[in-house]
Amino acid sequence: METIEKRMLTGNKAMAEAIALEMERDPTVFVLGEDVGKYGGIFGSTQGLFDQFGADRVMDTPISETAFIGAAIGAAAEGMRPITELMFVDFFGVCMDQIYNHMAKIPYMSGGNVKLPMVLMTAVGGGYNDAAQHSQTLYATFAHLPGMKVVAPSTPYDLKGMMISAIRDDNPVVFMFHKTLQGLGWMDQLDASISHVPKEDYTVPLDKANVVREGKDVTIVGLQMTMHYALEAAEKLAEEGIEAEVIDLRSIAPIDKETIIKSVKRTHRLIVVDEDYLSCGISAEVSAIIAEEALYELEAPVKRIAVPDVPLPYSRPLEQFVLPNANKIYDEAMKLINEW
């Protein structure tokens, strides 16, 4: 029997390692953002980088998201490869103009003559009672607007591999990492937030969904926390003899239609689970793709589970009520299978 040594890393360390490897390889890569220096990023995304690379390449900024994200754009246009952090995605409203009107559009408006090889990383997600302004995922807010690749990895392995891909990509990439999947010591301890991560550099594509569990009875599409909930629900469903196929969406722009369609052709049932708001969300998009391109494969309505168009409430019973979880998925899957 061969023993494989598993190198276990938390999500945040996987991300930071990816950045470190690219910074070693490429002197044009640098990081700027609030508390990315000594602090190592509020959610640990830059842990250790300041010590390794110093203040010139890991730059703390003032609370001036418009200026420093805009500066990243300006630096990228001059051939640098900046990685900038928007501390919580919830803060997008103070700097979205730079993100969506400039970062995302300049390559297009210039007819491809200006490239912006930059990464905008940002923390998403709730579930720890941080209330309406610090708990959102806002996946669709970014996926709706053209010109940026948008990814939301769910495992330490993907966090590293997709970060390396993002840094090397010549296009602007919005890299959403989920706080609870960073494996931080001061948050919920989740098995999923720590796993084997190879030491060397490797890439994971930015446009491919991942079938993380195969099954024939129902397709459950999720991303980040909702993908893990889907896996949990799938275990329970398996006990009832129901085999759920679980897809980790990972990339939300562009979205990997093929993988989803192929799966629905196999299972004929679809549930989309999303920690973002319901209306005009990723769950709507996946549902619409199927309604347009694989309608006749469906043997039941497409079910969406998402935050029901209310701001994230603070109090625990309220927040738990609106967030998706494994039980809700299980219940809906049972209904889809039994009632249709």
Partner 1 sequence: MSMTRERINIPVEKLKWMYETMVKSRYYEDVMVEAYNEGKKPVFNIGAGPVPGEMHLSTGQEPAAVGICAHLTKDDTVTSPHRPHHHAIAKGVDLNRMTAEIFGKVTGLGKGKGGHMHLFDPEVKFSCGGIIAAGIPHAVGAALAAKKKGKDWVAVAFVGEGAANAGGFHESLNLAALWKLPLIVVVEDNAYGISVPKSGSTAVASNDLRAAAYGIEGAYVRNNDPIEMYLASEEAVRRARNGEGPTIIEIETHRYLGHFQGDPEMYRDKEEVPNLRKIDPITKIRDLMLSEGIATEEETAQIEVRAKKDVDDAYHFARESEYPAPEDALKDVFSS
Ligand X SMILES: Cc1ncc(C[n+]2csc(CCOP(=O)(O)OP(=O)(O)O)c2C)c(N)n1
Residues binding ligand X (CB under 6 A): 34, 63, 65, 87, 91, 94
What is the distance between the alpha carbons of residues 247 and 221, in angstroms, rounded to a whole number? 5
DSSP at 302: P
- For 50: left if phi > 0, alpha if psi spans -120 to 50, otherwise beta; the answer is alpha
CA Rg value for the chain: 20
What is the distance between the alpha carbons of residues 231 and 76, in angstroms, rounded to a whole number? 39
- DSSP for 32-89, please give it: EETT-STT--TTSTTTTHHHHH-TTTEEE--S-HHHHHHHHHHHHHTT-EEEEEEEEG
Establish how many alpha carbons lie within 13 A of residue 32's alpha carbon, considering only the half-sphere containing its beta carbon.
24
**String of contacts with a copy of itself for each residue 190-229, x by CB under 8 A:** ----------------------------------------
Is 287 a binder of a copy of itself (CB under 8 A)? yes
Instruction: Give which of 141, 123, 112, 105 is closest to 184, Cα–Cα.
Output: 123
The nearer residue to ligand X, 133 or 327, going by C-beta atoms, is 133
- Using CB under 8 A, pick the residue from 9, 20, 21, 95 that binds a copy of itself: 95
**Catalytic annotation present for 134:** yes
The nearer residue to a copy of itself, 196 or 208, going by C-beta atoms, is 208
The nearer residue to partner 1, 97 or 235, going by C-beta atoms, is 97
- State the residue number with the nearest CB to ligand X: 91
**String of contacts with a copy of itself for each residue 102-131, x by CB under 8 A:** --xx--xx---------------------x
Binding site for a copy of itself (CB under 8 A): 66, 90-101, 104-105, 108-109, 131-133, 140-141, 143-147, 253, 255, 276-277, 279-285, 287-288, 290-293, 295-296, 298, 300-304, 309-311, 313-314
Q: Kindly list the catalytic residues.
A: 134
